[in-house]
Amino acid sequence: MYRVIVANKAVLTPWEVSGKIDYDNLVEKFGTKPLNHGDLDRMRDHSGRFHFMLRRGVFYSHRDLDKILDHHDRGGKFSLYTGRGPSGPVHLGHLIPWIFTKHLQDTYGSKLLFQFTDDEKMLLKEDLDETITSHWVHENALDLMALGFDPDNTEFIVNMRHASKLFPIALKVAKKITGSTMRAVFGFNDQSNLGMMFFPSMQAAPCFLESERAGEPVPCLIPAGIDQDPYWRLTRDIARKLGYPKPAQIHGRMLPGLTGTAKMSSSQPETAIYMTDVPELVEKKIEYANVPEDRANCPLFQFHYFLLTESDEEVEWIRDACTSNRRSCLECKIELAEDVNRFLKAHRRRKKLIGKSVETMLE
Amino acid sequence: MTDEPKQEMVVTPWEVKGDIDYDKLIEQFGVSRMTPEIEDKIAEHAGYKHLQLRRGVYLSHRDTEWWIKEYEKGNKVGLYTGRGPSGNVHLGHLVPWFFCAYLQKAFGADMYFQMTDDEKFLHRADLSLDEAVSYAYENALDVIACGMAPGKTHIFSDTEDIEHLYKIALRVAKKVTFSTAKAVFGLTDSDNIGKIWYPAMQAMTCFLESDREGRNIPCLIPAAIDQDPYWRVTRDIAQKLGYYKPAQIHAKFLPGLAEGGKMSASQPETAIFTTDPPKKAGKKVMRAFTGGRPTVEEQRDLGGRPEICNVYAYFYFLFEDDDKALVERETSCKNGEILCGHCKKELAKRVESFLTDFQEKREAAREVLDEYLIKPVE
């Protein structure tokens, strides 16, 4: 499978035909590097298995991953960093980088820094206060931990609670970024509030936190959607100026929305399946999902491909049944709804088991 | 005054230069002139009229009557001032702090004292964050030595105590746009984003006590008038955030040992630092700029000019509490009866004995520093 998908670009892959995002073009446009055989082989050797998201090119591009792997081979530690804005429930699209991050933590024993950007949410949304973000911090943290992260090796940083961890580093970062850079990179303007102007330095700070704590360079790897790359490019630039290792990234593709949008998005709730959706709602959402005439372009197939169906044989069967007209859309949708509900049920069960221990982690 | 052409006045939170025209500043900033009624009210509550009130140090204000009235109604009132810790403290810095200690005692107010180490770090290319933070703690000793009340004084560092401050600063920052910051503070696109954010940190302290106590507490800020732009912005957003507008009482700039401007730490030769060995401080006084004439004869004939004399200014603002003695000195100087050397020697003696005493208090403050640092809300 890996040979087919990664090595031979002529093969039909879901994203190439989605028409919404040209992922190869993004690599070129952003100047990132595609993951090559060498990188993939090394990661497979390190973990002892070939994670399906690598096999299928869900994660497909990087910056300085090779340096991170070299550092690991020399016996060095690196940290993982990702995060979330806690303004609502988690949807399936959010889980993709998290599941992959968990694989990286298992493989490399890396500490995960997980940032909740409640400050950003508060600054952007008119009606959001801390009671609301606190609720979602707790809920989302459970969703994350339900994926099996090592609690002893995972640190939550809730910006409004834990500002003291980040602020000194954020100030150093902020001193190196001008207002004009904010305009160019983030599209801020004179109407942007002062908090938003500063916020990118709070988001950059965790990249350097472990180095600061250790008093020696501890590289940081960020697994994220490739759409995030421009942001991290700026942070890499700052890292050089401040003498920290540049944060490395491994870039993923995005799970499309139910309506065929390029990305499942909380800002368009009709595109998303939330971890909190009840089974009937999941069935409905999938039943009404937008399926294109061109079956190869079906967003629903990508749910299997990105997330639900790890077996390559099975995923091939699903695709084949569709493209060869052996199975109707309705049948396919019913099965997908069952798979999603099974997945959600198992996830909720794991969330319950975690229970209160997450509160200590969030203190 | 002198015949030299006037230098253009520049007054911003970061820069004060030129010949200061206070009437123009009052008009420009849209603040109210200080009144004898307010001064008397303060004196009434304090039990005496502080020399700084008698000498017109406080030239203007905003809502100070309201703040006093709230106190008279039996409501709790608070004070806020601060310092950008980028070096040692000089005698000019102590003037408002002595006054704060006086107000604190008179009104039983809690004092929130902000060390803006973040601002200093962000504004100065040559200052590291660690340096700024260590000055914050070093300077806190001076604040304490000015006689602030233990248990009612909450000194904090923006950098070290951000966990108590960040949420309120965010609420402020949300209400202030970049374009407002540009218009009020003269910020531009090429300023760093820390500087752009910083006004939220300085404004935040106006609401800190209210936030910590869970009820609205009127806040009065005694500070030099160059800080006014911060309070203008803060007053504009206070009500949107559900707080009282902060009141201010504005101090004049104090002349240094060199001519013009305020006693500035960025021109060290012009200032006497609280950490200067007393003898060295005395020598600085002996080298001070005065209003004396070029020759003894001229001085005897024409008399000195206390109005431009820095030695006189030190007596005026800090070292001569006795109004009668001050007037005598002024008259004798103007009449050419005393020479500059005479005043310098007397001032040097007072500065030396002041510093000896102050430095003792400052060292004692090290032992009790922790009692004066901000604590988490219980």
Q: What's the pLDDT score for residue A20?
A: 61
Nearest Cα neighbor of A96 from A219, A221, A225, A242 is A225
Residue B16 β-bridge partners: B11
Q: Give me chain B's average pLDDT, please.
A: 91
Q: What is the mean pLDDT of residues B174-182?
A: 96
pLDDT of residue B120 exceeding 90: yes
Q: Which residues of B touch A171 (CB under 8 A)?
A: 118, 121-122, 129, 159, 194
pLDDT for A268 equals 76
A21 or A67: whose pLDDT is higher?
Answer: A67
Q: In this model, does residue B260 exceed pLDDT 80?
A: no
In a domain, B293, yes or no: yes
Structure confidence by residue, pLDDT tens digits, A323-359: 888 999 999 999 999 999 999 999 999 999 998 889 9
User: Alpha carbon of B307 to those of B123, B317, B333, B350: distances in Å?
Assistant: 34, 13, 11, 20
Do B95 and B211 sit in the same domain of this protein?
yes
Token digits for B41? Answer: 């009210």
**pLDDT confidence of residue A104:** 98
Would you tell me how many other CB atoms lie within 10 Å of the CB of residue B302?
Answer: 12
Alpha carbon separation from B376 to A80, B208, B211 (Å, rounded): 31, 12, 12
| b/e map B1-16, b = 16+ CB within 10 Å | eeeeeeeeeebebeeb
Identify the band that residue B268 occupies on the pLDDT scale cut at 50, 70 and 90. Answer: low
Nearest to B122 among A171, A196, A197 (CB): A171
The domain that holds B90 is classified in CATH as 3.40.50.620
Same domain, B280 and B251: no
B56 and B183 part of one domain: yes
Residues B160 and B43 in one domain: yes
One domain for residues B173 and B294: no
Q: Which sequence spans correspond to the domains of chain A? A: 23-255
Out of A165-169, A296-300, B142-146, least confident range: A296-300
pLDDT at A262 over 80: no
Q: Which of A298-302, A307-311, B4-8, B224-228 has the largest mean confidence?
A: A307-311
Average pLDDT over residues B40-69: 96
B100 neighbors B148 (Cβ within 8 angstroms): yes
Local confidence band at A127 (pLDDT 50, 70, 90 cut-offs):
confident
- What one-character-per-residue DSSP string does A83-130 give? EE--SS--BHHHHHHHHHHHHHHHHH-PPEEEEE-HHHHHHH-TT--H
CA B309 – CA B289 distance, rounded (Å): 7
Per-residue model confidence as pLDDT tens digits over A137-180: 999 999 999 999 999 999 999 999 999 999 999 999 999 999 99
Residue B22 lies inside a defined structural domain of this protein: yes
B216 shares its domain with B291: no
Q: Which of A293-302, B112-121, B183-192, B213-222 has the lowest mean pLDDT?
A: A293-302
Query: How far from chain centre, in Å, is Cα A156?
Result: 16
Max avg pLDDT among A227-236, A327-336, B205-214, B255-264? B205-214
- The Cα-based distances of A52 to A305, A318, B26 in angstroms read 9, 16, 70
Looking at the fold, whether B322 and B349 belong to one and the same domain comes out as yes
Per DSSP, B319 falls in state: I
Q: What is the mean predicted confidence (pLDDT) over A304-332? A: 92
Tally the domains of chain B. 2
How is residue B91 written in tokens?
């005698």
Inter-chain CB proximity A175 and B190 less than 8 Å: no
Assess if residue B290 is contained within a domain.
yes
Nearest CB neighbour to B170, from listed A122, A175, A179: A122
Please report whether residue B170 resides in a domain. yes
How many Cα neighbours within 13 Å face the side chain of B313? Answer: 26
Residue A240 burial by CB count (10 A; 0-12/13-18/19+): exposed, middle or buried?
A: exposed
* Sequence letter at residue A300: L
Q: Helices then strands (H, E): number in chain A?
A: 19, 7
How close is the nearest chain B Cα to the Cα of A79, in Å? 24
Nearest to A172 by CA among B137, B132, B202, B373: B132
**A208-225: b or e for each residue (b if 16 or more CB lie within 10 Å)?**
bbbbbeeeebbbbbbbbb
Q: Which residue of A has its CA nearest to B169?
A: A195
CB half-sphere exposure, A285, CA atoms < 13 A: 24
Per-residue pLDDT at B60 exceeds 90? yes
Decide if B174 and A167 are in contact by the 8 Å CB cutoff.
Answer: no
Does domain A23-255 fall under CATH 1.20.120.350? My reply is no
Count other Cβ atoms within 10 Å, centred on residue A152. 8
Q: Does any domain span residue B191?
A: yes
CA dihedral A274, A280, A286, A288 (to 10 degrees): -120
CA distances from residue A290 to A22, A295, A307, A334, B45 in whole angstroms, order as listed: 20, 11, 19, 14, 75
Instruction: Please tell me the distance from the alpha carbon of residue A309 to that of residue A295, in angstroms, as a whole number.
Output: 18
pTM of the predicted structure, to 2 decimals: 0.90
- Helices B91-107 and B129-145, interaxial angle, to 10°? 60
Burial of B189 (0-12, 13-18, 19+ CB in 10 A): middle
Q: Is A360 on the interface with B (CB under 8 A)?
A: no
Please report the pLDDT score of residue A126 as a whole number: 79
Question: Based on the domain organization, do B39 and B153 belong to the same domain?
Answer: yes
- What pLDDT, on the 0 to 100 scale, is given for residue A5? 32
pLDDT of B145 above 60: yes
Tell me the C-alpha distance between B314 and B289, whole Å. Answer: 12
- pLDDT at residue B15 above 70? no
Q: Lowest-confidence range among A265-269, B49-53, B107-111, B175-179?
A: A265-269
A1 — pLDDT class (breaks 50, 70, 90): very low
- Interface list for chain B against chain A, based on CB atoms closer than 8 Å: 118, 121-122, 129, 159-163, 165-167, 169-179, 181-182, 187-194, 196-197, 199-200
Q: How confident is the model at residue A6 (pLDDT cuts 50, 70, 90)?
A: very low
Mean pLDDT of B178-204: 96
Torsion angles phi and psi, residue B157, rounded to 5: -105, 130
**Domain termination site, one of B216, B233, B258:** B258
The per-residue pLDDT for range A76-87, each reduced to its tens digit, is: 999 999 999 998
B213 shares its domain with B325: no
Range of the domain at B355: 268-361
Query: How far is the CA of B294 from the CAs of A204, B174, B305, in angstroms?
Result: 61, 58, 12
Cβ neighbours, 10 Å, residue A117:
22
Answer yes or no: is pLDDT of A8 > 50: no
Distance from the first to the final alpha carbon of chain A: 44
Question: What number of C-beta contacts closer than 8 Å exist between A and B?
Answer: 113
Which of B115, B118, B177, B178 to probe the A interface (max A CBs under 10 A)? B178
B1 in a domain, yes or no?
no
Co-location of B199 and B339 in the same domain: no
Distance in Å from the first CA to the final CA of chain B: 56
Per residue in B327-342, pLDDT (tens digit) is 999 999 999 999 999 9
- Whether B261 shows a pLDDT value over 60: the answer reads no
Looking at the fold, whether B222 and B351 belong to one and the same domain comes out as: no
Domain stop point among B201, B230, B258? B258
Residue B128, domain member (yes or no) = yes
Question: CA A48 → CA A45, A104, A107, B140, distances in Å?
Answer: 5, 12, 9, 57
Same domain, B80 and B143: yes
CATH number reported for the structural domain that contains residue B277 in this entry: 1.10.240.10
Average pLDDT over residues B190-206: 97
pLDDT, tens digit, 9 for 90 and up, residues B82-110: 999 999 998 888 989 999 999 999 999 99
Q: What's the average model confidence in pLDDT over B118-134? A: 96
Which segments of chain B does DSSP mark as H helices, in order? 22-29, 36-46, 51-54, 64-72, 91-107, 117-123, 129-145, 162-174, 178-185, 193-213, 228-238, 278-286, 296-302, 310-314, 323-334, 340-372
Task: Give the C-alpha separation, B369 to A151, whole Å.
Answer: 38
Please name which of A163, A169, A162 lies closest in space to residue A210, comparing C-alpha atoms: A169
Contact A160 B170 (CB under 8 A): yes
Query: In a mutagenesis test of the B interface, which of A117, A126, A128, A171 is the best target, namely the one with the most B β-carbons within 10 Å?
Result: A171
Statement: residue A19 has pLDDT above 60: no
Share of chain B above pLDDT 70, in %: 92
A179 reaches B (C-beta below 8 A): yes
Has residue B322 been placed in a domain? Answer: yes
How far A203 CA sits from the closest chain B CA (Å)?
A: 13
For B170, the closest chain A residue by CA position comes to A195
ipTM: 0.89
Sign of CA dihedral A181, A186, A188, A192: negative
| Average pLDDT over all residues of chain A | 89
Burial B270-300 (b: 16+ CB within 10 A, else e): bbbbbbbebeebbebbeebbbbbbeeeeebe
CB A74 within 8 A of CB A284: no
Option in A123, A159, A179 nearest B191 (CB): A179
pLDDT band at B297 (very low <50, low <70, confident <90, very high): very high
pLDDT tens string B339-363: 999 999 999 999 999 999 999 999 9
